[in-house]
Structure 1
Amino acid sequence: MSAPDLECSALVKQFDGVTAVDDVSFTVPRGSFFSILGPSGCGKTTIMRMIAGFLEPTSGDIRIRGGSVIDVPPNKRNVNMVFQHLALFPMMNVADNIGYGLRRKRLPRAEIAHRVDAVLERIGLPGIGPRKVAELSGGQKQRVAIARCMVLEPDVLLLDEPLGALDLKLRERMKIELKALQADFGTTFVYITHDQSEALVMSDRIAVMNAGRFEQLGNARDLYYRPETAFVAGFVGDSNRWRGRVARVSGGISEMQADDGLTLRAALRGVSAAGDRAEIFVRPELVLPGHDPAELAGCDNRLSGEVTDILFNGAASRALLRCVETGTVLEMALPQSGRFAGLGRGDRVQVGWAADQAACFPERGPEAGISGAS
């Protein structure tokens, strides 16, 4: 069995006594798309720069295809990096930008021209070699920046929030194109981002990072539907959240008296006992509407709500509901058809969800990226 393209073992990085990366280990199999997802300042760029060789770890090891690169300078590692602002040379045309690294390797001119033409064909931009960088669209610049790295045939391509400077529509399109390019080249991509949609759409595996550590590592479905910590439940996707105190635990279900007065039931994640502080999360799309209790017979949690606003976003539209009993505001996915599709401000509706569709974690305090009740 071949060695994975990238192995990071017990990585630690400290700056003046402050720990930016704290005992992080992960493996990236050959030819996969791996993302590190987390808020600004969590340490993900520090990991990227250590892999590239721009920073030296305080401790730990980095291995590329089985060989340690701790003592290998950046220009000797078979790793390339795409930055957010792409760093294309404006005074060079497209072909010269892509061939820059090949010229530094002193390859014959004919071979450089052949490889540049070949990589332009693969990224879907044949024949644009003579064009100036300023004449390219944002998506074309993105692909040229990737081609400049891929023409060097790296073992690992590092991408540091490369879509951050693009407008929303182009960013959505480039997510699909990036994944397709990665699959076509078969090169291992290590991608860092604070944008959960980028990570969920493109990645084979994702590490969710917070305060220098990995909170959870898994595929997109696991992170979204089976979060292991309160941070992951709140950061990945949107969630309604309640804080409170556990009243009882039975059969893996926690009953919590929320601070706003509601009694809520949820699947227990982590260790909690009666009297402990906890928080419960439920996704907006799992909050089901009904006009009377009989329609919500399978729901362990029920409340009455009044629609305060509709957040229209096509198929992803949401209704904001104010709980009649407590005044708490929560989000519900707006049905696209049926009698609840026309909900509007001021409408009253019963809503509910099953206990096993919600998650109860030991309380951790305020977390980034959490919406809904709090």
Structure 2
Amino acid sequence: MTSAPDLECTALTRRFGETLAVDDVSFSVPAGSFFSILGPSGCGKTTIMRMIAGFLEPTSGDIAIKGRSVLDVPPNKRPVNMVFQHLALFPMMNIEGNIGYGLRRAGMSKADIARKVDEVLERIGLPGIGKRKVDELSGGQRQRIAIARCMVLEPDVLLLDEPLGALDLKLRERMKIELKSLQAAFDTTFVYITHDQSEALVMSDRIAVMNKGRFEQVGTGQDLYYRPETSFVASFVGDSNRWRGTVERVEGGTAQLRTDTGLTMRAAAKGGAAKGAAVDIFVRPEAIRIGRDAADLAQFDNQLSGTVGSLLFNGAASRIIVTSDETGGELEVTLPQSGEFADLTRGAPIHIGWSAAQANCFAAGEG
């Protein structure tokens, strides 16, 4: 028999007066997985998190943990715990006191608390620091202590509400890797909400992209990045060149388009890309190849010549802005790290191309 998912939300809806914050959302999270809800501020992701934790009641729908509805279970009795952006560690307590706080409230003996605190400190890679004060820790160490304080209670599901938002960039990058490692070490189901696509892509087994109270797409990071299903997902996940255009014809899943800037282009036709339809067209900078001339890029469905307008240097993620000779429009193109085109400079003539399969078009206005 297949075991029930650790978390299952069915037709979850929440209204605040006339405002529909969460609109008929359903999803499940298998045991031991890392699931993220990604979306802009105000899309409803925190409302979902608060309903799972029990701080808000759904207007309708159900929330089940390990196959049992928890709608009638108060927050302090649900088998979940929550890490907030502001970690709220107790400064008057040492690390041991912070981690053992929930265990003391549960009535556990001092000996058992000490044992479990030592165990969890070992698992988060900070053994022997139980007597230290909170203000003696780095930002990353405090983050791990906040997680340890939750994990020592052995929840079925750990909810994380943008916990990296208050960290500086370098620490945030390191903590993305550490959080994924901690989740694997505890083998606990993590449900993570964020507006930062990099956090979601790096850490998650599956991601739900949320917009205006609904899930636009649920899938792996690769699904969302390479195979977006809506204009919103294509624009929100990763960077893309974007045009508005009109479909001239569709053949075998490929649309021939005319952009508002005058470019003729071929792209993979998604829902709504019928002849005469207005569409949004997306091409990622790394999908565009640089060549010496048209013959050098003969394998690509789309080509144009242009001039390097500027260089956006960012190490391995450096790009160039190409100004089209045909229309005067601009495109971002990933700069190769080696080879004859690695040292392009402003004003250099350039030829670029990309395949129809690596361009996507969707009915205009979805994003």
- SS at structure 2 position matched to 1:112: helix
Within-5 A mapping of 1:174-185: 174-185=175-186
Q: Which amino acid aligns with 2:98?
A: N
What's the CA shift string for 1:78-101, capped at 9, x where partnerless? 100000011111111111000000
Equivalent-residue separation in structure 2 for 1:179 and 1:74 (angstroms): 26
1:133 aligns with 2:134: yes
What's the counterpart of residue 371 of structure 1? none
What's the CA shift string for 1:352-371, capped at 9, x where partnerless? 10111111111116x4xxxx
1:30 aligns with 2:52: no
Q: Which amino acid aligns with 1:161?
A: E
What's the counterpart of residue 341 of structure 1? 342
Unmatched 5+ stretches in structure 1: 368-374
Q: Which amino acid aligns with 2:328?
A: G
What's the counterpart of residue 39 of structure 1? 40
Within-5 A mapping of 1:59-74: 59-74=60-75
What's the counterpart of residue 115 of structure 1? 116
Cα displacement (A) at 1:284: 0.5
Cα displacement (A) at 1:272: 2.1
Unmatched 5+ stretches in structure 2: none
What's the counterpart of residue 242 of structure 2? 241
What's the counterpart of residue 173 of structure 2? 172
What's the counterpart of residue 96 of structure 1? 97
What's the counterpart of residue 221 of structure 1? 222
What's the counterpart of residue 188 of structure 2? 187
Equivalent-residue separation in structure 1 for 2:172 and 2:310 (angstroms): 28
- SS at structure 2 position matched to 1:8: strand
Cα displacement (A) at 1:316: 1.0
What's the counterpart of residue 207 of structure 2? 206
Q: Displaced runs of 4+ in structure 1, greater than 6 A?
A: none
What's the counterpart of residue 360 of structure 1? 361
What's the counterpart of residue 232 of structure 2? 231
- SS at structure 2 position matched to 1:45: helix
What's the counterpart of residue 282 of structure 2? 281
What's the CA shift string for 1:93-114, capped at 9, x where partnerless? 1110000000110110110011
Equivalent-residue separation in structure 1 for 2:265 and 2:230 (angstroms): 19
Q: Which amino acid aligns with 2:75?
A: P
Give the TM-score taking structure 1 as reference length. 0.97
What's the counterpart of residue 154 of structure 2? 153
- SS at structure 1 position matched to 2:154: coil
1:13 aligns with 2:22: no
Q: Which amino acid aligns with 1:20?
A: A
1:322 aligns with 2:318: no
Cα displacement (A) at 1:129: 0.7
Cα displacement (A) at 1:235: 0.7
Equivalent-residue separation in structure 1 for 2:162 and 2:95 (angstroms): 22
Equivalent-residue separation in structure 1 for 2:349 and 2:219 (angstroms): 39
Equivalent-residue separation in structure 1 for 2:274 and 2:49 (angstroms): 40
Q: Which amino acid aligns with 2:105?
A: R
Cα displacement (A) at 1:315: 1.1
Equivalent-residue separation in structure 2 for 1:329 and 1:47 (angstroms): 39
What's the CA shift string for 1:243-282, capped at 9, x where partnerless? 0111111111111110001111101011322211001111
Equivalent-residue separation in structure 2 for 1:325 and 1:16 (angstroms): 52
Cα displacement (A) at 1:166: 0.7
Equivalent-residue separation in structure 2 for 1:273 and 1:146 (angstroms): 50
Q: Which amino acid aligns with 1:167?
A: D
- SS at structure 2 position matched to 1:173: helix
1:197 aligns with 2:198: yes
Q: Which amino acid aligns with 2:192?
A: Y
- SS at structure 1 position matched to 2:274: coil
- SS at structure 2 position matched to 1:179: helix
What's the counterpart of residue 294 of structure 1? 295
What's the CA shift string for 1:147-186, capped at 9, x where partnerless? 0000000000000000111111111111111001100100
Equivalent-residue separation in structure 2 for 1:187 and 1:133 (angstroms): 25
Q: Which amino acid aligns with 1:146?
A: I
Give the superposed CA RMSD. Answer: 0.8
Equivalent-residue separation in structure 1 for 2:274 and 2:36 (angstroms): 35
Q: Which amino acid aligns with 1:202?
A: M
Equivalent-residue separation in structure 2 for 1:3 and 1:49 (angstroms): 22
